[in-house]
Amino acid sequence: MTAITEAQATALPNERGRERIRRAFEREELYGLRQWLRARLAVLVVIGTWMLFINPPGWAAYYIGIVLLSGMFGVAHYEIRKHGFGGALAPYAFQLLDVALVGFAIFVPNVFQERILPYGAMLGFGNEHYFYIFLVASLFTYSPRIVLWTGFCTAIVYAAGVAWILSQPGSFILSVPNQEFMALGMDERNRLMGDLNRVALDEHAQTIILMLIVCAMLALGVWRVQRLVLANAVAERARANLSRHFSPNMVDMLANTDQPLGASRSQEAAVLFADIRGFTSYAETHAPEEALALLREVHSRFAQHVFAHGGTLDKYLGDGIMATFGTPSPGPRDAANALAAGRAILESIAAWNQTRIARGADPVHVGIGLHHGRVILGDIGDEQRIEYAVIGDTVNVASRIQDLTRKLDVRLAASQALVTAACEAGDGPELLQDMQRAALQRLDGREEPILVWTLE
């Protein structure tokens, strides 16, 4: 049994998400049962001690037996749920047993005690308040259905107990209407109210209605908590998905906006391409596990520094990545951030290579190409799958510049357009250190040559 219903679970994005939420509720249900078991045992110790205090030993044995039986029910319920036995019906069965045991203790006279009061007097001690302990305890199941079931069982058991009292010799229903009752003399009213055989059905009906109202309110509270948990789970899953592509500050902005990306549009942005040189040869000469481990490590370093500089990870390209800076919202430092991210990636790889060389592994070499200009942002795909993409000539040029790093045998190459935009942000001298302006370079598929800056 899972505390979450199928209808609620379908609010989650996919079956894996629904299954994770089910397992989470099951873990919390088991934890709640453990907490309730501890509380139950503590309460039973208090009640058992009180019974010993107010009753002679012979009479107290009856109540101590009920206390022990209630404790056994709690232990059995927890152990059955802990080991996955009983299926979906086990919680319902144990809630019924608990309520039935309380009803037995309230309505059935102590077999070790000589009956000195009429049966109707059993309804005048206020013992029905013990039912509310188990109504509240049903919250630990985290299931509105079980809470409602507990309330229903409580109402039925209480009504059955009242009916049983009425069936006993001497019991009678006090059914005098209010107007007639008030018309009686004081002595007659006192006689009726003081008769221990009387059963005031209106009072007990009111108690049952209050039980059901409390139960409905508790169930509504549990349902509301479930909805909040589901909403938070969906929101956190969405944020987790966004965090795979966007920097943390961008995730916060997107998560708090109803339509974050808007319609397709054209805007300024910086584009970064990075890939591993010689990865194809590496994959041919190493085990698949080693190749994937290397790829994950490099991708992790790529993403870390892209996000650290406010970039967006647009996509993984086999042994490389495409990242953008200034999407979906452009800013004055996009080009500077892109260049800073590229240099940070190279520094990270260089430090990692020292560790690799120390343990006898080959160093990893990467090439990075950067460009700045207008891009087009919008949805692409079909009815089955839609992807938000950044396309345009700026993207193509950045990819060609990254290819150019092999020809020029440099680690990083950036277009003059990107360098100019970075200098306008005021970071030119710092970011351009150790970089050289290369001659005009002709890119594949373009007639006009382009001026690039390189970092050897």
Q: Report the mean per-residue pLDDT for the chain.
A: 82
CA-closest candidate to residue 155, choices 183, 135, 125, 175: 135
pLDDT value for 10 = 45
The answer for residues whose C-beta is within 8 angstroms of residue 177's C-beta and 6 or more apart is none
Q: Left if phi > 0, otherwise alpha if psi is -120 to 50, otherwise beta: which for 104?
A: alpha
pLDDT value for 3 = 44
Residue 171's pLDDT band (cuts 50, 70, 90): confident
Tell me the range of 7-11, 51-55, 375-379, 390-394 where mean pLDDT is highest: 390-394
Tell me the range of 187-201, 313-327, 333-347 where mean pLDDT is highest: 333-347
The answer for residues whose C-beta is within 8 angstroms of residue 313's C-beta and 6 or more apart is 244, 245, 246, 302, 303, 306, 307, 321, 323
Residue 5's pLDDT band (cuts 50, 70, 90): very low
**pLDDT over 60 at 133, yes or no:** yes
**pLDDT over 90 at 8, yes or no:** no
C-alpha to C-alpha distance for 368 and 274, rounded to whole angstroms: 4
DSSP letter at 310?
T
CATH ID of 258-455, from 3.30.70.1230, 3.20.20.140, 3.40.50.720, 1.20.20.10: 3.30.70.1230
Tell me the range of 117-121, 134-138, 251-255, 257-261 where mean pLDDT is highest: 134-138
pLDDT tens, 202-224? 788 888 999 999 999 999 998 88
**Cβ atoms of residues 421 and 414 within 8 Å:** no
C-alpha to C-alpha distance for 324 and 234, rounded to whole angstroms: 27
pLDDT value for 255 = 64
Work out the average pLDDT over 26-46.
84
pLDDT value for 1 = 40
Verify cis geometry, omega within 30 degrees of 0, for the bond prior to 328.
Answer: yes
pLDDT tens, 427-437? 777 788 888 88
pLDDT value for 12 = 47
pLDDT value for 259 = 54
Work out the average pLDDT over 137-153.
88
pLDDT value for 160 = 92
Residue 256's pLDDT band (cuts 50, 70, 90): low
Model confidence pTM above 0.75: no
Residue 9's pLDDT band (cuts 50, 70, 90): very low
Q: Give me 366's structure tokens.
A: 């990467």
Q: Give me 202's structure tokens.
A: 């209106």
Q: With pLDDT > 90 as the criterion, what percentage of the chain qualifies?
A: 31
pLDDT value for 231 = 75
> Across the strands, what pairs with 375?
267
pLDDT value for 355 = 92
C-alpha to C-alpha distance for 300 and 295, rounded to whole angstroms: 8
Tell me the range of 87-101, 200-214, 332-346 where mean pLDDT is highest: 332-346
The answer for residues whose C-beta is within 8 angstroms of residue 447's C-beta and 6 or more apart is none
Q: Is 34 helix (H, G, I), strand (E, B) or coil?
A: helix
Domain ranges (residues) in the chain: 6-242, 258-455
Q: With pLDDT > 70 as the criterion, what percentage of the chain qualifies?
A: 80
Which is more confidently placed, 380 or 89?
A: 89
Residue 250's pLDDT band (cuts 50, 70, 90): low
Which is more confidently placed, 183 or 399?
A: 399
